[in-house]
Amino acid sequence: MSQDRPTSSPSSHLGSGDLATAPRTADALVVAAREVLDANRSGRYTRPSQALYPHQWSWDSAFIAVGRSWYDAEGARLELETLFEAQWDTGMVPSIVFDAAAPPDAYFPGPDVWQSERSPMAPRGRPTSGITQPPIHARAALEVHRHAPQDQSTASLAWLERMYPRLVAQQRYLATARDPRGIGLAAIVHPWESGLDDSPAWDRDFGRIEVPGGALAPYRRRDLDHATAADRPTDADYARFLYLLTLERDAGYDDARVVATSPFLIVDPLFNAIRLWSEHALAEIAGLIGADPAPHRAAACRIHDALIGELWVSRRQRFCAWDLRRDQREPEDTVVSFGPLLDPDLPRPVVAAICRELESPSFHPRRGGLHYLVPTYDERAAGFDPERYWRGPIWLNTNWLLWHGLRQHGRSGLADEIVASSVELVRRSGFREYFDPLDGSGHGSSNFSWSAALLTDMLMAGRSPHTMANNG
């Protein structure tokens, strides 16, 4: 790697002491990122972070595999393969696969709370959560394959062939069990399924859920042992998360029952845009391994039609989450509205409307040259909170998704700004879980795996894989 990329980074606002120990060059950042991923690795998978998240998380592992694939193709393949060993018979990929080697009270709610064994569809002897997360895995598998070195192309194709039926089953599950009315969009039954747990995108709906007295056994929040309370979901929201969990558990994680009864039933534009993006990836994978790409193109087309038909609210000029229980479009302006940029066929006027919003003071405020991108919530909204979980801070995975979406629509200027900002945030604060968009300070876990993995991917884009410094 030759130079420090990008040259347009808004570094002028940084105080001279901020970066005394932070790596300055892209090369050094990529090496530091690899150290984070290696330190967080635990046998056959990588923890999101060592203290706060000591198990395997679903979409984290997909992001991690993409980052790792730039220097360790085999390890990247193993990361995804390990996750899919815990796939349910329904096709669902669980959001968490619990590591028996982690201390029993390391994370709450742990396997004793989830009790996945209540479902006959759960893997035997492999405790998991009972819900899923965004299906980014087919896209990640394609990226991993693309980064495989020449001498591993046969092994990589064989791996794609093994992964393909599992990835198809994951997508089929979402298209059927999560879309019983056949609208073309999958519903989530818990905010944790979105991956943007505490997002205001579904506040109105989620906030209405009342936890009946005595519904929850006494518990202690372990997340607060490792993170500041002001950065994490409130106690009231946490109780709602747990209440939904107990309802799903008590329904034996039976999809039909859960979908019919859950007080939380949301169609999230980002979740479904990721589904669509993965269908396009599956079409490419099918082509590579001699399977038929046509069903995947048809599935993507169906999601595309439903995104536009059901979630695009032209009066607001944006995509809105849809509360299926009450048949209402949610009004809050959050980063999930930009997810459909991942659709390569998004009509140009819709792309233009999204970009206008992304460049507006709500998401791209200009404070004397200091503007960190992209906040997860409208900075001008009354409830905007620069530090609290998903209610304003910047996360590198949403930045990475937007970067991909913008590039595929030829919006490279904005895409480059997002990379510049991501680099600057890490230089300033390290590989933190998330960042305050007002001052760039870091929050949540330190040495967070997907921050390391996705920054690697942004910095390595366009370069030859397996040429990075310290390649081992």
Residues known to be catalytic: 197, 433
Q: Name the residue among 74, 273, 262, 243 with its Cα closest to residue 177.
A: 262
Cα-Cα end-to-end distance for the chain: 16
| Amino acid at position 265, single letter | L
Query: Which is closer to ligand 9WN, CB of 53 or CB of 271?
Result: 53
Q: Name the residue among 112, 142, 137, 139 with its Cα closest to residue 127.
A: 112
H and E: helices and strands count for the chain: 17, 11
The rounded distance, in Å, linking the Cα atoms of 173 and 28 is 41
| Residues in 90-119 at the binding interface with ligand 9WN, rule: CB under 6 A | 95
The rounded distance, in Å, linking the Cα atoms of 297 and 156 is 23
Q: Are 119 and 253 in contact (CB under 8 A)?
A: yes
Q: Which of 30, 33, 60, 299 binds ligand 9WN (CB under 6 A)?
A: 60
Least Å from the CB of residue 20 to ligand 9WN? 28
State yes or no: residue 243 binds ligand 9WN (CB under 6 A): no
Query: Which is closer to ligand 9WN, CB of 271 or CB of 363?
Result: 271
Query: Which is closer to ligand 9WN, CB of 119 or CB of 449?
Result: 449
Q: Which residues contact 99 (CB under 8 A, 6 or more apart)?
A: 42, 45, 47, 54, 55, 56
Q: Which of 45, 57, 164, 243 binds ligand 9WN (CB under 6 A)?
A: 57
Instruction: Mark the segment that binds ligand 9WN (CB under 6 A) among 28-36, 54-62, 297-305, 418-426.
Output: 54-62
State yes or no: residue 269 binds ligand 9WN (CB under 6 A): no
Strand residues in 7-86 grouped as ranges (E)? 41-42, 45-46, 56-57
Backbone angles phi, psi at 150, to 5 degrees: -45, -45
Least Å from the CB of residue 457 to ligand 9WN? 17
> How is residue 248 written in tokens?
């799903």
Long-range contacts of 377-383 (CB under 8 A, 24+ apart): 377/199, 377/200, 377/332, 377/333, 377/334, 377/335, 378/332, 378/333, 378/334, 379/437, 381/200, 381/332, 381/333, 383/200, 383/203, 383/332
Q: Are 419 and 458 in contact (CB under 8 A)?
A: yes
- Tell me the three state secondary structure of residue 132: strand
State yes or no: residue 372 binds ligand 9WN (CB under 6 A): no
Query: Which is closer to ligand 9WN, CB of 54 or CB of 340?
Result: 54
Instruction: Give me the residue whose beta carbon is nearest to ligand 9WN.
Output: 48
Instruction: Mark the segment that binds ligand 9WN (CB under 6 A) among 55-63, 208-216, 245-253, 342-350.
Output: 55-63
> How is residue 32 written in tokens?
């530091």
Query: Which is closer to ligand 9WN, CB of 127 or CB of 195?
Result: 195
State yes or no: residue 79 binds ligand 9WN (CB under 6 A): no
Q: Which of 31, 41, 45, 48 binds ligand 9WN (CB under 6 A)?
A: 48
Query: Which is closer to ligand 9WN, CB of 77 or CB of 391?
Result: 391
State yes or no: residue 386 binds ligand 9WN (CB under 6 A): no
State yes or no: residue 159 binds ligand 9WN (CB under 6 A): no
Least Å from the CB of residue 389 to ligand 9WN? 7
The rounded distance, in Å, linking the Cα atoms of 57 and 62 is 9
Least Å from the CB of residue 280 to ligand 9WN? 23
- Tell me the three state secondary structure of residue 72: coil
Q: Which of 45, 53, 271, 434 binds ligand 9WN (CB under 6 A)?
A: 53
Least Å from the CB of residue 83 to ligand 9WN? 12
188 to 227: interface string for ligand 9WN, x by CB under 6 A: ----x--x-x-------------------------x----
Q: Name the residue among 144, 134, 33, 157 with its Cα closest to residue 79.
A: 144
Least Å from the CB of residue 95 to ligand 9WN? 6
Q: Which of 59, 384, 403, 434 binds ligand 9WN (CB under 6 A)?
A: 59
Enumerate binding residues for ligand 9WN (CB under 6 A).
48, 53, 57, 59-60, 95, 192, 195, 197, 223
